[in-house]
Amino acid sequence: MTESSTQSNGPNSRQWPDKNISSIPLWVYSDPEIYQLEQERVFGGANWNYVALSAEIPKTGDFVRSNVGDKSVVVTRGADGVANVFVNRCAHRAAAFCKEDHGNATSFMCPYHQWTYDLKGSLTGVPFRRGYKGQGGLGPDFKMPEHGAQQLKVTERNGVIFAAFDHDVESFEDYLGPNMLGYFDRVFDGREIEVLGYTRQRIDCNWKLMFENLKDPYHASVLHVFLITFGLFRLDQESAVEMDETGRHGALISRKGAQALNTATEQMTNFRSDLKLKDPRLIDVAKEFPGDISVVMQTVWPNLILQQQSNTLAMRHLVPRGPNAFDLNWTFFGYADDTPEMRQRRIRQANLMGPAGLVSIDDSEILSMSQKGIRPYPEESAFAEMGGTGTEDTKHMITEAGIRGFYKHYIKVMGL
């Protein structure tokens, strides 16, 4: 990596107008150069990317394929019990050698020329390394340790695995900051996690729109009929938008209140006072966390949304697929000591979330419509002045401070 690609304005020709975080230039959502720079600086570099839950690889040799940005990586459990992450790219001819999405292995062999890697991604075998009958093969200066699959720095906290390309990255705890770490530990408190299943979708919009969506409580107050009508997340409830010091991580926090007609619901045209579920078990919510907070939607820069909405818990893992699409991979989970009733609640309430979620359909559809509006207008900008132009934490939902905080950090990281 050259100095010029990590410093100053980098290889891109774009400049964020006046560094005004209340006005977002639309080219950030569609420019292929920006996309490439994001792979290097936002997903690469000294950033902790979510890759897997520990419960997906409990035993030695267990592995799962994941992504850091758009790069395929393999997450393994070593014989020493430590989680490893290495890129799914053979050091020889670059084949993505791990072709299964999960499994258990003692080693990984690239099928092309049978170069073999151990559970840490270190190269352990090269066929005909010394040639045959004294002919061919690799030179005497070939050193196996220099030709492993690229290994990432890994951290594992209370059942969640993160990885960073830059091994000089700060500790995960410092990276999150004390307040955001508190919300993370609220869900991952050390209890054993049970994976309940996956759903996956490829949404035809830029990945940042999804991240912003979880930093924007304003939309939730008007768009989502299910949240508003059943009081699962509403602006007239006691709520907050909080961030870490940099603005890169955020949390939308809500306390459940009674859902009733009031001065606020007059402006919520999607409030349906007459809506009654024929089977209300869908929203039979049981309190399970200490305190009176009922919802925490946490965004962990750059690729994770940690969802705690009522009793549905999920990791939403963002995998960018070019400037105009990204994969949203949902890993639903509960706790190994959940009662059968709580487990069933999580299965039922998952109806709210995922590719067919009664709440999240609204998001994937509107974000797709956003991208359609964005693409032809790279030189225009989006307006984000709800709640002012600052990035302070707030105790209400009518604000876009979380989006502004995100871009404050984004501009810095991207050198825009």
Partner 1 sequence: MSTQLKPSDIPASAPKARVIVPADLRFEIADLYAAYTDTLDAADYKAWAEFFVDDAMYRIVPRENYIRGFPIATMHCESKGMIEDRAYACEQLNLVQPRVLRHFVSGVTIESAEGSDRFKVGANFLVVQTCFEQMTEIVMAGRYIDDIVRRDGRLLFQSRLCVYDSLLIPTSLVAPV
User: Contact positions toward partner 1, by CB under 8 A?
Assistant: 100-105, 195-204, 223, 225-226, 272, 275, 277-279, 281-282, 327, 332, 343, 347-348, 350-351, 354-356, 358, 361-362, 364-366, 368-369
Task: Quote the CA–CA distance of 299 and 304 in Å, as a whole number.
Answer: 6
Residues 336 and 259 sit within 8 Å (Cβ to Cβ): no
Residues 147 and 123 sit within 8 Å (Cβ to Cβ): yes
Residues 6+ apart with CB under 8 A from 389: 21, 22, 404
In the complex, what is the shortest distance from the CB of residue 99 to partner 1, in angstroms, rounded to a whole number? 9
In the complex, what is the shortest distance from the CB of residue 122 to partner 1, in angstroms, rounded to a whole number? 19
In the complex, what is the shortest distance from the CB of residue 29 to partner 1, in angstroms, rounded to a whole number? 16
- For 115-170, strand residue ranges (E) read 116-117, 123-125, 153-157, 160-164
In the complex, what is the shortest distance from the CB of residue 343 to partner 1, in angstroms, rounded to a whole number? 8
Burial bucket for residue 168 (CB in 10 Å: 0-12, 13-18, 19+): exposed
Question: Judged by CB, which is closer to partner 1: 265, or 391?
Answer: 265
Provide the edge-to-edge strand list for the sheet that holds 49-53: 49-53, 160-164, 153-157
Question: Judged by CB, which is closer to partner 1: 94, or 356?
Answer: 356
| CA end-to-end span of the chain | 19
In the complex, what is the shortest distance from the CB of residue 40 to partner 1, in angstroms, rounded to a whole number? 25
Question: Judged by CB, which is closer to partner 1: 23, or 307?
Answer: 307
Question: Judged by CB, which is closer to partner 1: 110, or 413?
Answer: 110
In sign, the C-alpha dihedral spanning 339, 344, 345, 350 is positive
Question: Judged by CB, which is closer to partner 1: 72, or 351?
Answer: 351
Classified as helix, coil or strand, 45 is coil
Nearest to 202 by CA among 93, 87, 320, 99: 320
In the complex, what is the shortest distance from the CB of residue 230 to partner 1, in angstroms, rounded to a whole number? 11
In the complex, what is the shortest distance from the CB of residue 219 to partner 1, in angstroms, rounded to a whole number? 11
